[in-house]
Amino acid sequence: KNEVEQSPQNLTAQEGEFITINCSYSVGISALHWLQQHPGGGIVSLFMLSSGKKKHGRLIATINIQEKHSSLHITASHPRDSAVYICAGEGNEKLTFGTGTRLTIIP
């Protein structure tokens, strides 16, 4: 069983909608990464967090250590946000990646 589980696997929304992608992880993970992978394949790091909340532009990442859960939110979604979003848990000198959430924003 993967130690990092993402949901949903696929998400389609209309432009302007508020988007939430979830990531649950197992014991032993002390930091959580959110990554973005666009069609064409390049991977970009969005956030690394171990507590609380981080914000960058329209992107917000939160983590709840007690519940072993993190969320990535996108406000005022735009078609250019269409991508695969990947969470990865880090701990015990290991980085475990989720299988990704494919987000499609329709104009």
Partner 1 sequence: DAGITQSPRHKVTETGTPVTLRCHQTENHRYMYWYRQDPGHGLRLIHYSYGVKDTDKGEVSDGYSVSRSKTEDFLLTLESATSSQTSVYFCAIRDRGWDTGELFFGEGSRLTVL
Taking the C-alpha atoms of residue 86 and residue 72, their distance in angstroms, rounded to an integer, is 10
Residue from 23, 90, 101, 103 touching partner 1 (CB under 8 A): that is 90
Q: Which residue in the block uniquely carries the two structure tokens 């002390």?
A: 30
Q: For residue 48, state whether it binds partner 1 (rule: CB under 8 A).
A: yes
Residue 9 beta carbon to partner 1: minimum distance, rounded to whole angstroms: 10
Give me the torsion for CA of 88, 91, 96, 97, rounded to 10°.
0
Binding residues for partner 1, per CB under 8 A? 2, 4, 30-31, 33, 35, 41-45, 48, 50, 86, 88, 90-91, 93-100
